[in-house]
């Protein structure tokens, strides 16, 4: 079997990689054709061609429609697949466009933590990785991101609690881009804020005010013999945990099965992944939980807190998770 696709990064990690690994375990994986820089995510395959210089958010041309799960949010009847093992399946059935429940019969996530654990970053331990983004999304200017104020609060709490921090926000020059990332570059978006007594600073500038906050880009520059994704995989395998915006960045760090707080904002599809029924039963069969049972979702309905730059409830979750 040959897998050939170039969808969004998170879609590939969720739909293509677990199917490829399932095929590999059965001795049925012949080759993987993917985007530039992705071969290390398919470490189990000896025949990986990094063909594509771009990604696409259009699933009709991304190559995912031939996979067992062609849509990342699944289909409305998928919960019924688990009626013999999950007593709450009915609560999460018949959801239009699905609520993140996939068919896991041909789906297995590789053990990335075991594969990439190493001793290269012992001087940073214990460390928490914060993954941010500042991108256009489907024609809309940046909405889902950690603001300078939010970063300041997180940096303060975690460093005062004895953690080092790795801060990562890609500039969209590090990997093949999809349409959202291209829009971000074309609009020259920058994450900045006017800080009283300091002036206009970026999130990158903010990291320089702390001894124990490290910019991922600086760490990458120390390992010129490794690719961007190799550094991510080797570094993240040693993390105590992660804080991330929902989407591709969370799906990446979820692979290491550590405590992972994901900020879920203003997306009906994502909210459906994490909503609970009237008895507070969780949708444990959505792909986030299936990859990482240690995920901690924080749902900000309609971006109410984010728009007001108010993060008290979110910071409380961080304090409860990283003590």
Burial class from Cβ neighbours inside 10 Å (0-12, 13-18, 19+) for residue 73 reads: buried
Residue 315: what are its φ and ψ, rounded to 5°?
-65, -30
Q: Which residues of 84-109 are buried (b: 16+ CB within 10 A; e: fewer)?
A: eebebbebbbebeebbbbbebeebbb
Q: What is the CATH number of the domain that holds 140?
A: 3.40.50.2000
Regarding whether 289 and 233 lie in a shared domain, the answer is yes
Regarding whether 246 and 121 lie in a shared domain, the answer is yes
Burial class from Cβ neighbours inside 10 Å (0-12, 13-18, 19+) for residue 211 reads: exposed
Specify the pTM: 0.93
Among 295, 269, 306, 274, smallest CA distance to 138 is for: 269
DSSP, collapsed to helix, strand or coil, labels residue 120 as coil
Residues in the chain where the model's pLDDT stays below 50 = none
> What pLDDT is stored for residue 267 in this prediction?
60
Contact, 62 vs 46, CB < 8 A?
Answer: no
Among 106, 123, 140, where does a domain finish?
106
> What pLDDT is stored for residue 218 in this prediction?
96
Structural domains of the chain, count: 2
Regarding whether 268 and 209 lie in a shared domain, the answer is yes
> What pLDDT is stored for residue 270 in this prediction?
62
Regarding whether 121 and 99 lie in a shared domain, the answer is no
Supply 303's token pair.
């971006």
> What pLDDT is stored for residue 269 in this prediction?
54
Among 106, 131, 147, where does a domain finish?
106
List, in sequence order, every beta strand (DSSP E) within the chain: 2-4, 31-35, 48-52, 127-131, 164-168, 192-195, 199-202, 213-215, 241-245, 260-265, 295-300
Regarding whether 88 and 232 lie in a shared domain, the answer is no
Range of the domain at 193: 114-321
Contact, 273 vs 290, CB < 8 A?
Answer: no
| Residue 37 to residue 35: CA distance in whole angstroms | 6
> Please, what is the end-to-end C-alpha distance for the chain in angstroms?
46
DSSP, collapsed to helix, strand or coil, labels residue 129 as strand
Regarding whether 84 and 132 lie in a shared domain, the answer is no
Regarding whether 83 and 99 lie in a shared domain, the answer is yes
Contact, 30 vs 64, CB < 8 A?
Answer: no
Regarding whether 309 and 207 lie in a shared domain, the answer is yes
> What pLDDT is stored for residue 294 in this prediction?
96
Regarding whether 64 and 159 lie in a shared domain, the answer is no
Regarding whether 93 and 218 lie in a shared domain, the answer is no
Q: DSSP readout, 161-172?
A: TT-EEEEE---S
Strand order in the sheet with 213-215: 213-215, 164-168, 127-131, 241-245, 260-265, 295-300
Q: Which residues of 246-270 are buried (b: 16+ CB within 10 A; e: fewer)?
A: bbbbbbbbbbbbbbbbbbbbbbeeb
Strand-strand pairing, 295-300 and 192-195? unpaired
Regarding whether 159 and 73 lie in a shared domain, the answer is no
Among 85, 106, 127, where does a domain finish?
106
Measured CA distances, 20 to 6, 23, 249 (Å) = 14, 5, 21
- Beta-bridge partner residues of 165: 128, 213
DSSP, collapsed to helix, strand or coil, labels residue 257 as coil
Regarding whether 22 and 40 lie in a shared domain, the answer is yes
> What pLDDT is stored for residue 246 in this prediction?
87
> What pLDDT is stored for residue 157 in this prediction?
98
């Amino acid at each position: 079997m040959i897998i050939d696709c170039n969808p969004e990064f998170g879609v590939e990690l969720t739909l293509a990689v677990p199917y490829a690994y399932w095929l590999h375990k059965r001795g049925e994986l012949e080759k993987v054709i993917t985007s530039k820089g992705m071969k290390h995510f398919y470490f189990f395959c000896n025949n990986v061609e990094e063909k594509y210089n771009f990604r696409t958010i259009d699933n009709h041309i991304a190559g995912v429609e031939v996979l067992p799960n062609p849509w990342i949010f699944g289909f409305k009847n998928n919960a019924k697949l688990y009626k013999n093992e999950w007593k709450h399946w009915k609560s999460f059935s018949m959801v239009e466009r699905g609520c993140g429940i996939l068919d896991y019969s041909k789906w297995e996530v590789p053990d990335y933590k075991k594969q990439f654990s190493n001793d290269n970053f012992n001087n940073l331990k214990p460390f928490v990785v914060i993954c941010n983004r500042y991108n256009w999304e489907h024609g809309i200017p940046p909405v889902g991101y950690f603001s300078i104020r939010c970063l300041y609060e997180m940096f303060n709490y975690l460093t005062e609690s004895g953690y080092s921090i790795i801060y990562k926000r890609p500039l969209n020059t590090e990997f093949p881009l999809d349409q959202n990332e291209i829009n971000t570059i074309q609009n020259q978006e920058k994450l900045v804020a006017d800080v009283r007594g300091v002036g206009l600073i970026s999130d990158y500038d903010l990291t320089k005010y702390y001894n124990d906050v490290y910019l991922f880009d600086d760490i990458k520059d120390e390992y010129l013999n490794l690719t961007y994704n190799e550094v991510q995989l080797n570094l993240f395998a040693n993390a105590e945990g992660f804080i991330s915006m929902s989407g591709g960045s969370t799906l990446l760090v979820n692979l290491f099965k550590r405590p992972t707080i994901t900020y879920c904002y203003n997306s009906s599809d994502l909210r459906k992944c994490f909503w609970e029924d009237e008895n507070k039963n969780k949708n444990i069969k959505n792909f986030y939980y299936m990859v990482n049972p240690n995920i901690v979702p924080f749902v900000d309905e309609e971006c109410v807190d984010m728009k007001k730059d108010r993060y008290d409830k979110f910071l409380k979750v961080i304090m409860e998770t990283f003590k």
